[in-house]
Chains A and B, each alone.
Chain A
Amino acid sequence: MASSANAAEPVVAVERLGKRYRRAVALQAVSLTVPRGQLYGLIGPDGAGKSSLLKAVAGVLSYEEGAVRVFGKLIDSERAAEDVKARLGFMPQGLGLNLYGELSIEENVDFFARLRLVPAHEAAPRKERLLAMTRLAPYRERPMKNLSGGMKQKLGLVCTLIHAPELIILDEPTTGVDPVSRRDFWVILAQLIEEHRLTALVSTAYLDEASRFDRLALMHAGRVMAEGEPERLVRDARARIVELQADAAQPGPLEQRFAQIDWRANVARIYVEGDDDDSARRAVLDVVGPATAPHLAVRQPELEDVFVALLRAQDGVAIEPLRGLSAPAPRHASADAEHAIDARELTRSFGAFRAVDAASFGVHYGEIFGLLGANGAGKTTVIKMLTGILPPSSGLGRVAGADMRRAGQAIKERIGYMSQAFSLYTDLTVMENLLLFAGVYGLERRLAQERARWVLALGGLEGHEDRAASSLPMGLRQRLALGCALIHQPRVLFLDEPTSGVDPIGRRRFWAILQELAREQGVAILLTTHYMSEAELCDRLALMFAGRVVADATPAAMKAQLAAEQGQLLDVSTAAPAAALAAMRAAGFPGAVLHGRGIHVMAHDPRDAQERMRAALERAGLPEPLVARRELSMEDVFVHRILALEAAAAARTP
């Protein structure tokens, strides 16, 4: 019955799949089908069971209950799995971990081709095409271990595709990758799917990537909570988002009435249940008063809103409200005089390579300062120099008034640090970790207990005291790591990608803590993140590129500057985004970029731009697009700035 000719047959069909590891349940009654030629997404927080599901489909993990069919073949034994493996490609989790560090890009690709017995006359042209497409061709001699995160991820994709599989299974290919590289990756993937009629099953922890999928399943705690096309999921949510100008919002009463409010830089996005614009508007006006009506807009919820709502229902806990930080950070009299963190011409070279190049910035007490940049821009190196782990090659890093190169114990006691990825002791329990760090900071037993309880309460970790850190979901782990960095109540906090891989609810709780620390206790916080929605929440941002700080301003100022330079942001939605993008770029919109399933373009004269776009798409035989003006987001700013800088750098080096 297995026949690849039968196009109607789903490529993957999972029925009531159950999987357990010893006593821990990984998957329960999971059912889904992946039709041919689709980009199917598995979305959910860390520990939701995405990896287990993907491995079961790839035939590398056995399961106890239910059935997995791939190309119509029941995968219930190693032998059965072998029959379909020629037709699928699997890229496991972990950036470049399945590749061979000592081998070059080309050798990696060649190895995968030989492993898959691809005839040389097929492999060679395919390799060239894939390397060209991923723009890896110029680096083909470079050993894999020396690649940046984004490049590793693209190489992984090339290696997975070299035998021209019909189905590719990618496990969190974008985790830990910066927004620009991530975008790049999705564009390439979309192109490949279109050209080769590939079917792709991809998991991600980034909810904002959800809208890129043709179809998706939201997973949580081993179950599928919702499944279907993105549009249908939004429709089925039967809810509205009421956007309210932040200055008109009344946080207290609103939060009492509505469980899910997303506070952005200048708007509050309120999630209102009910499939009706008017009743949603009325529900909000009932709280804030009719006078605010002009400052209010009703929109369809985005996928992320829907997921948060679904997860919230599952967790049964209220989401921490995130206050907008549009008001300037409170400055203390003493703090004004002195920066908590002060980087002056900070430089660090590794051999000939300059990882950080004369970076200068300052952070006040009570301020949340975000360091943004692509993978390899030098963010982590800056933090390592400022925390005293790495001595600068030149320049000065002062923290709490002391030169970090000669920092003594007293200074280190004022610093808290959370390194990239999870760096606590996973084999210790929550309480053991906390008491360890209390001891490391020399706290006496009674005080240590007291602080541990304080951290447990702050991080919402009560009830998990005796769980091994390895068994915690990502969100809890990160709060535990933060707690360990806080146990000695530092005045300055360094957080390196603290929320990587954490689900949105977890991230919200995390940020609520950060805000409390900054606002209530005047802690200076320096952090890095790849989530641009988090960048919005920072008081100030510095953008790094190739080791240099290229911009340093508040999020609002950054947006305003971009708007002044490039004009109004237009969101173009169309049925065939890839083709439309090509057409638009050809028609004089070089800055057009893919955003979700739409295209973002900036223009000083929106009317004229709209006309030109229509014409361009018509010439290309594409349907008329839907164009809407949008507020600039930090993501737009980031992508625009980085692409411009990359283009400039490429122009300098011929």
Chain B
Amino acid sequence: MTPKRVLALAGKEVREILRDRLYLMLAFLLPITLLVVFAYGMTSDVKNVGFVVVDEDQTPTSRDYARQFLASRHFRLVASGQDPALIDEVLRTERARVVLWIGPDFEKRLLARQPVEVAAHIDGAVTPPGRTIRAYLEAINAQANAIYQTNPRLAQADAGPDCCRQAAPPVRMETRFLYNPEVRNIVMVAPSLLMLVLLLVPPLLIAVSVVREKESGAIYNIASSTVSRFEFLLGKLLPAVMICMINAVVLWLLVAFYFGVAFRGSVPQFAFALLLYVLATAGLGLLVSAAVRTQQAAIIITTITAMIVATQFAGFFAPLDTAEPANRFLARLFPAGYFLPVVRGMYLKGAGMGVYWVELAALAVYSGVVLWLAHAFFRKRTKA
């Protein structure tokens, strides 16, 4: 291998990239757009959610109960009324995602120190946010109960204050959320997006640049010369890795400062981890480009693979524990599965390389294997 030749190839690549404005723009705009878009798209904050109250009781107590929900920023009253028929209509048109139904005897039963049932109709069509909404409703209801149980007006129906102490929650859970004390969704999502975006962009850029030469015929310059396959692949890999590392740093800064997710780890160590990951995913791009002949096919294959792997097989949305064994095996075939614990661990938990040496070693081996495979599949003397 001759470093001079690799440099010549890489230098030509850089020049071409710098002068191809659309490619250049996409190379830097695409990752940023993806990060921002995914960050907003994947953090299902329960805020401003449409809320309808059907209050058949119409008493101060029932109105007070309903207000508990609307006091938070989470829900926004879009309609209220007494007609249960309202429930289906507002949910079907997505005007509201929650309809709280309070029955006629609400106040009476409460004052009688009896349990009273209310119904929360939640839009379950968009299931995961529906589940989150349910959790919020339950939490607010629990707060409301805590107040009723200590509320003098409700308590006066009975005897002394003794009962109230009795009714106080017997076991208190003091929960401490490590690494993400406010349990903000973005804290989990944003760093993980480094995994997703850097799984998609490097292979895309590299596959397009290799396949473009195949389409034009410039690949014959390589094939008919003494440039070795390895030199050619490195010449493509280095500029792409360089661009993607710049991108990685920009994304990192975005996550830390725009989305405000504090970085707790060691900067050089995390940068090193990013480099290993980018090498591995860019290597995947080389592998794809060895197999396909048109840019269109290259883009379709890399995008689909990256999206499916990132969302289904990497543990992004749900941990791999619940996945089928086959899926868990598939996850091992892509670098995303190795990198996700690393990015969460190093970025959020501030863990060092020592903690994640197994995953990092796996990524290093992975890049080597992929590069070797691309080298093996790439042909200078082809069949067609």
Contacts and interface: CB of A to CB of B under 8 A. Distances in A.
25 contacts: A21-B383, A59-B381, A60-B220, A61-B382, A61-B383, A62-B381, A85-B225, A85-B226, A86-B226, A90-B220, A92-B220, A93-B217, A97-B216, A98-B216, A98-B218, A100-B16, A103-B15, A103-B19, A107-B15, A114-B4, A114-B7, A115-B9, A116-B226, A117-B5, A143-B19
Contacts of A81: 380-381
A111 B382 contact: no
Contact-residue size bin, chain A (C-beta under 8 Å from the other chain): 20 to 34
A270 interface: no
A600 B19 CA distance: 45
B169 to A, nearest CB: 70
A89 interface: yes
Interface in A108-156: 111-112, 114-117, 143
B232 to A, nearest CB: 10
Interface string A310-354: 000000000000000000000000000000000000000000000
B218 A99 contact: yes
A115 B221 contact: yes
4 nearest interchain CB pairs?
Answer: A114-B8, A90-B224, A102-B19, A60-B223
A78 interface: yes
Contacts of B12: 100, 103, 107, 111
Interface string B3-39: 0110111011001100110000000000000000000
Contact of B224 (A58, A77, A94): A58
Contacts of A102: 15-16, 19-20
A60 B380 contact: yes
B9 A89 contact: no
Most buried by B among A77, A92, A112: A92
Contact of A85 (B2, B8, B224, B384): B224
Contacts of A58: 220, 223-224
A60 B224 contact: yes
Contacts of A115: 5, 8-9, 221-222, 225, 227
A236 interface: no
A88 interface: yes
A103 B384 contact: no
Nearest to A112: B221
B379 interface: yes
Given A62-B381, A85-B226, A100-B12, 12 more contacts: A21-B384, A59-B224, A60-B223, A90-B220, A97-B217, A99-B218, A103-B16, A111-B8, A111-B11, A111-B12, A115-B222, A116-B225
A177 B223 CA distance: 26
Contacts of A92: 217, 220
Given A82-B226, A114-B4, A114-B5, A61 B381 contact: yes
Contacts of B222: 115
Interface of A: 21, 58-62, 77-78, 81-82, 85-86, 88-90, 92-94, 97-100, 102-103, 107, 111-112, 114-117, 143, 159, 169
Contact-residue size bin, chain B (C-beta under 8 Å from the other chain): 20 to 34
B62 to A, nearest CB: 69
Nearest to A78: B381
A77 B381 CA distance: 8
A88 B224 contact: yes
A85 B228 CA distance: 11
Contacts of B227: 115
Contacts of B220: 58, 60, 90, 92, 98
Interface string B144-184: 00000000000000000000000000000000000000000
Most buried by A among B11, B223, B380: B223
Contacts of A143: 19
B19 to A, nearest CB: 4
Contacts of B19: 102-103, 143
A100 B218 contact: yes
Given A60-B380, A62-B381, A97 B218 contact: yes
Nearest to A22: B384
Given A86-B226, A103-B12, A114-B4, A98 B221 contact: yes
Contacts of A61: 381-384
Given A62-B383, A98-B216, A103-B12, A89 B224 contact: yes
A103 B7 CA distance: 16
Contacts of A93: 217
A460 B123 CA distance: 68
Interface string B327-362: 000000000000000000000000000000000000
A103 B381 CA distance: 26
A60 B380 CA distance: 6
A153 to B, nearest CB: 14
Contacts of A103: 12, 15-16, 19
A56 to B, nearest CB: 9
Contacts of B16: 100, 102-103
B154 to A, nearest CB: 78
Contacts of B4: 114, 117
B346 to A, nearest CB: 38
Contacts of A112: 221
Contacts of B2: 117
A435 B13 CA distance: 45
A65 to B, nearest CB: 14
A420 to B, nearest CB: 18
Nearest to B215: A97
Contacts of A100: 12, 16, 218
Nearest to B381: A78
Nearest to A75: B381
Contacts of B9: 115
Contacts of A98: 216-218, 220-221
A59 B220 CA distance: 10
A108 to B, nearest CB: 9
A332 B5 CA distance: 68
B256 to A, nearest CB: 35
Interface in B217-251: 217-218, 220-228
Nearest to A83: B226
B189 to A, nearest CB: 38
Interface in B63-97: none
B231 to A, nearest CB: 9
A116 B9 CA distance: 11
A237 B11 CA distance: 54
A1 to B, nearest CB: 21
A82 B5 CA distance: 16
A581 B39 CA distance: 73
Nearest to A90: B224
A143 B19 CA distance: 10
Nearest to A107: B15
Nearest to A102: B19
A640 B9 CA distance: 43
A86 B4 CA distance: 16
Contacts of B226: 82, 85-86, 116-117
Contacts of A99: 218
A62 B380 CA distance: 10
Nearest to A99: B218
A629 B222 CA distance: 49
